Amino acid sequence: MTGLSDYIDKTLAGIKNNDALYRYKGKLLGEMSARADELQMRGLSDKKVILDLIEQEYPNLAEDFLQRQKKQKSGKSALLKGLSLITGFLLYTFVLTLVYLAFSFITEAWALSWLIMVNGIILFLVVYFLKLLGSTAGKHRYKTARACLIAAIMLCAVFVFLISQVLLTVNKSYLIFLAAVAIAIICDVILAYSTNQKFAIFNLLIALPSSAALIYIILSLLELISWHPYWLIILNAFLADFIIIILAISRNSKNSEKEEADDLWKEN
């Protein structure tokens, strides 16, 4: 049907001709022709009616084409980013391996030099997750950003733990992981408020007693404070939660009263 090609050309007239548009037009014409044949087989003989029906099924050709182009570009961009990441990681690992072997042969400290490889890869992953955190938070992908934040903090904890345990032989270095959990909880609250999350207050209410309990355990195990009466740290955290809840209820009450007053003023 000549009317189909005319409709396609007219609808896509505002878009610059290129190979992608040419292929898109050919694909559309094939689909529409097949649809026209199907309608004719069902008993429709009026070409104008068939053309009107097909036009209703394909109302926004220009928008559809632009969306397809956008998806293709984003797909290519993601592929290029993935390839550059893999290439960068392989080059980084190659250089890291050279440094590891050179240091090991020169110092003959094979029992400790493996830290160069392990911690080097950990540092690469930390930088990757921090970059991913920035991009996902900017795109309002809060759940992914939280996962990246926690992953980066825990990897840093592994990095510090390996150095303190293997290289420095620090006593009770396992407490680094408890400290990392406390830091992750606090940073999660900061992230929630910095990205204006609707229920950030719940993160805060959970974080206060959780981080207080972890800090209390860490300081007690390090014998910096006694177990009794410093368990009151946790109790004070719950008390702070209670105060925050009261303040939040009071603020919401004032806001609702203000909104009601504004509505009454508008009505009058």
- Give pTM, 2 decimals: 0.73
Count how many Cα atoms sit within 13 Å of the Cα of residue 184 in the half-sphere of its side chain: 20
pLDDT score at 132: 94
Could you say which of 171, 198, 232 is where a domain stops? 171
pLDDT of residue 257: 55
Q: Are residues 179 and 265 in the same domain?
A: yes
Task: Tell me which residue of 179, 187, 244 sits closest to 213, measured CA to CA.
Answer: 179
pLDDT of residue 57: 84
Choosing from 133, 150, 171, the residue where a domain stops is 171
- Cβ neighbour number for residue 159 with a 10 Å cutoff: 20
39 and 98 co-located in one domain:
no
Question: What is the tally of structural domains in the chain?
Answer: 3
75 is a domain residue = no
pLDDT for position 218: 97
List the domain range (segments joined by +) for residue 232: 174-268
Which among 177, 174, 186 is positioned nearest to 155, based on CA atoms?
Answer: 177
pLDDT per position as a tens digit, 207-250: 999 999 999 999 999 999 999 999 999 999 999 999 999 998 88
In a domain, 72, yes or no: no
Flag residues of the chain having pLDDT under 70: 1-2, 255-268
User: In the prediction, which pLDDT does 211 show?
Assistant: 96
Listed in sequence order, the residues at least 6 apart from 44 whose beta carbon sits closer than 8 Å to its beta carbon are: 50, 53
Q: How far apart are CA 131 and CA 144, in angstroms?
A: 12
- Tokens at 249, concatenated: 């209820």
Range list of H helices, 42-141:
47-57, 61-107, 110-138
Task: Decide if 66 is inside a domain.
Answer: no
The pLDDT of residue 97: 97
C-beta pairs of 223-229 under 8 Å, 24+ apart in sequence: none
| Same domain (yes/no): 55, 89 | no
